[in-house]
Amino acid sequence: MKIAFYGTKPYDKIWFEPMGKEYGFDIHFIEASCNQETIFMAKGYDAICIFVNDYVNAEMIDALYEMKVKAILLRSAGYNNVDVKAAEDKIVLLRVPSYSPESVAEFSMALLLTVNRLTHKAYNRTREFNMSLNGLMGADLFEKTAGVIGTGKIGQAMIKILNGFQMRVICHDPFPVEGIEAEYVDLEELFEQSDVISLHCPLNSGTKHIVNRSSIAAMKKGVYLINTSRGGLIDTEALIEGMLEGKFGGVGLDVYEEEEGVFYEDRSGEIIADENLARLMTLPNVLVTSHMGFFTREAMCAIAKTTLENAYALENGLPLVNQVMK
């Protein structure tokens, strides 16, 4: 099988190159993202492999179908960046439903601890021998209420961590899971009661802008908001308005609505045209990271393994256990 890997970085090759050889795949690494302008590069390949900031719309699906591309391999759990309906009966979609839930949950907690205790600011100060504590006061998490939206594997891992901090944990998910150590509540109640809100749900029509002007208005003053899922879960303009009104104690964002073309790239020598992202960067109680919650050795290994197992199953007529269907 010949596979075109879009949007690849050096760290992708570390995992995919040796594993690909073990499976006997002919892998071609493409640095460019998969989009309308680059889809022609898939010609001659049996499958393409894409990541979170690539996209494949209906027109691109048709182009791939004409090029006889059999599959789109998503090296991610989410698939909101692919027109699933357009791909039906034309191209097989295969994803990585789970890699290392703990990697994302642990990073979510790291963001919370950082924006609460301001360790990133303390680090910058003390490097210049400024040992003043002014402006670095945080709050105890002990016995505070944490609200987790989405109780899939990552959400469940986050709940375990929050329980370790002896917080009261409430959660919301349209598909409750039995046996987790958290209390399910409706979404409005979660927004009203939580001192900390952590997002762990997929992006779809029902969750887009789940954090909006209305939900922000319902939140406690001084609430902490953490998002390591998808940027589109938060209405960025509403978030900025809430920040300027003093609603949030701190916000940790590993994802952003319009991150395509910025996240995973070095834009340090350029002027960023996105005014909302630029404004977020200027707010003292906002920490933005570059969609790196998944980025551990264990997670990268698992992503590569499952992605190539998906390709192997397709090539050999085995059950497609990770197929995405409308």
Q: Which residues are catalytic?
A: 230, 259
Total residue count of the chain as it appears in this document: 326
Pairwise CA distance, residues 17 & 12, whole Å: 8
> In three state form, how does the secondary structure of the chain look?
CEEEECCCCHHHHHHHHHHHHHHCCEEEECCCCCCCCCHHHHCCCCEEEECCCCCECHHHHHHHHHCCCCEEEECCCCCCCECHHHHCCCCEEECCCCCCHHHHHHHHHHHHHHHHHCHHHHHHHHCCCCCCCCCCCCCCCCCCEEEEECCCHHHHHHHHHHHHCCCEEEEECCCCCCCCCCEECCHHHHHHHCCEEEECCCCCCCCCCCECHHHHHHCCCCEEEEECCCHHHECHHHHHHHHHCCCEEEEEECCCCCCCCCCCCCCCCCCCCCHHHHHHHHCCCEEECCCCCCCCHHHHHHHHHHHHHHHHHHHCCCCCCCECCC
- Measured in degrees and rounded to the nearest 5, phi and psi for residue 120 equal -65, -35
Pairwise CA distance, residues 280 & 278, whole Å: 5
Residue 237, judged by CB atoms within 10 A of its CB (0-12, 13-18, 19+), counts as middle
